[in-house]
Structure 1
Amino acid sequence: MSLKKFILKLLGNIEEYLAEALLACFVVLLFVQILLRQFFQYSLPWGEELATYMFVWFAYLGATVAAKMSAHNRVTFQFNFTPPIVRKVCMALADLLWVCFNLYFVYLSYDFVFNRMNLFWKSQTLGLPMKYFYVILPIAFTLMSIRILWNNYLTLVKGVNLVDPETEEIEKLKHSATAQQ
Structure 2
Amino acid sequence: MPLPFLTADRTFEEGADDVALPYHDREVWRRPYRPGPWRVALAALVLLLASFVLVAALAIGLAKNTSGALGSVIFAAVLIVGALRGLRMGAWVSAHGVRRTGFLRTRTYPWSQVGAVRTVQQPVRVLGLPRSVQGQAVVLTARRQSVTGPLLTDHGADFLSRAEGFERAADTLEAWADEYVTAQPPGRR
> Fold match, TM over 0.5?
no
Kindly name which structure, 1 or 2, has the bigger radius of gyration based on alpha carbons.
1
Give the TM-score taking structure 2 as reference length.
0.32
| Larger RCO, structures 1/2 (Cα 8 Å, 6+ apart) | 1
Q: Which of the two has greater strand per residue?
A: 2
TM-score normalised according to structure 1 size: 0.33
Structure with a larger share of its residues in helix: 1
